[in-house]
């Protein structure tokens, strides 16, 4: 896994207005934390961070460069604006290059399934990421699977994923990644009711403009007025 450098600077927690001004100046508010490390608030350049993500993927090792040295980290959580999709807050997890970490790796599909190409089937891509354990230097950008041999009724599970040096899959081996079904089976699926559809929706973890800094702002504003707002 390639390592890159990203300049970072310490910042003091502030009000919503201060955070908005920080973003307007082209920086992203962030925090970094890790084993035995006190969580600290920092800021990084927005264009530089986006460029790193686009060129290297989400699991790149980032050397956060401070005036007093560097800290190796990975992006643990990234919040985006719900409309622009621009990053608005980052959680950096400081790591040791000698310790294994657990990360989600995106799955990439190669080829066209035989059941789709020659028999009119439908391929369903069920799970698009897989959890692995590895040393930071061994973390791949993606895991590729060839689906060209899949016929109607055939599937690929986590147990079928390729063996990679230094990579341990820690997800249930029976987890379905992709399968090919007949068009008839697809058409026979019952219509989901509105209630069932709502119940099936996953909880959104990273919400647009969730702004973790709002808590900082609330605490700062309350302190300025001498009390806590009810």
Quick check: helix, strand or coil at residue 148? coil
Average pLDDT over residues 130-155: 94
For residue range 84-109, list pLDDT tens digits in order. 999 999 999 999 989 999 999 999 99
Task: Identify any residues that bridge with 176 across adjacent strands, giving them in sequence order.
Answer: 157
pLDDT category, 151, cuts 50, 70, 90?
Answer: very high
What local confidence, expressed as pLDDT, does residue 210 receive?
A: 47
For the residues 61-88, what does the mean pLDDT come to? 92
Q: Is 117 helix (H, G, I), strand (E, B) or coil?
A: helix
What percentage of the chain has pLDDT greater than the value 70? 78
Please check the confidence at residue 216 and state whether its pLDDT lies above 50.
yes
Band (218; pLDDT cuts 50, 70, 90): very low
Q: Are 185 and 153 in contact (CB under 8 A)?
A: no
Q: What is the pLDDT of residue 1?
A: 61
What is the pLDDT at residue 195? 47
pLDDT at 2: 66
List Cα–Cα distances, 150 to 121, 125, 164, 172, in angstroms: 10, 13, 22, 21
How would residue 191 be classed by pLDDT, with cut points 50, 70 and 90? low
Higher model confidence: residue 47 or residue 137? 47
pLDDT score, position 68 = 86
Helices 16-24, 213-225: axis angle to 10 degrees equals: 130
The predicted structure's pLDDT at residue 166: 93
Q: What is the reported pLDDT for 87?
A: 94
Q: What is the pLDDT of residue 189?
A: 59
pLDDT of residue 15: 67
| Separation of alpha carbons 144 and 162, rounded Å | 8
Q: Quote the pLDDT of residue 225.
A: 46
Domains identified in the chain and CATH numbers: 3-98 (2.40.240.10), 102-191 (2.170.120.20)
């Amino acid at each position: 896994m390639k390592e890159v450098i990203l300049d970072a600077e310490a910042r003091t927690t502030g009000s919503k207005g201060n955070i908005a001004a920080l973003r307007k100046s082209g920086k992203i508010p962030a925090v970094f934390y890790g084993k035995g490390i006190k969580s600290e608030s920092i800021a990084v350049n927005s264009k530089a961070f986006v460029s790193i993500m686009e060129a290297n993927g989400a699991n790149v090792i980032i050397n956060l460069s401070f005036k007093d040295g560097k800290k190796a980290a990975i992006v643990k959580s990234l919040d985006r604006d719900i409309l622009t999709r621009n990053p608005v807050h980052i959680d950096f997890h400081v790591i040791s290059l000698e310790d294994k970490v657990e990360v989600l790796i995106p799955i990439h599909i190669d080829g066209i399934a035989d059941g789709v190409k020659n028999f009119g089937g439908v391929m369903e891509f069920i799970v698009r990421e897989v959890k692995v354990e590895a040393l930071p230097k061994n973390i791949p950008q993606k895991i590729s699977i060839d689906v060209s041999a899949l016929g109607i009724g055939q599937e690929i599970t986590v147990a079928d994923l390729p063996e990679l040096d230094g990579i341990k899959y820690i997800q249930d081996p029976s987890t379905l990644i992709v399968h090919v079904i007949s068009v008839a089976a697809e058409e026979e699926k019952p219509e989901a009711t509105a209630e069932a559809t709502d119940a099936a929706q996953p909880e959104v973890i990273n919400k647009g403009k969730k702004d973790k800094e709002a808590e900082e702002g609330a605490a700062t504003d309350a302190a300025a007025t001498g009390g806590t707002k009810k």
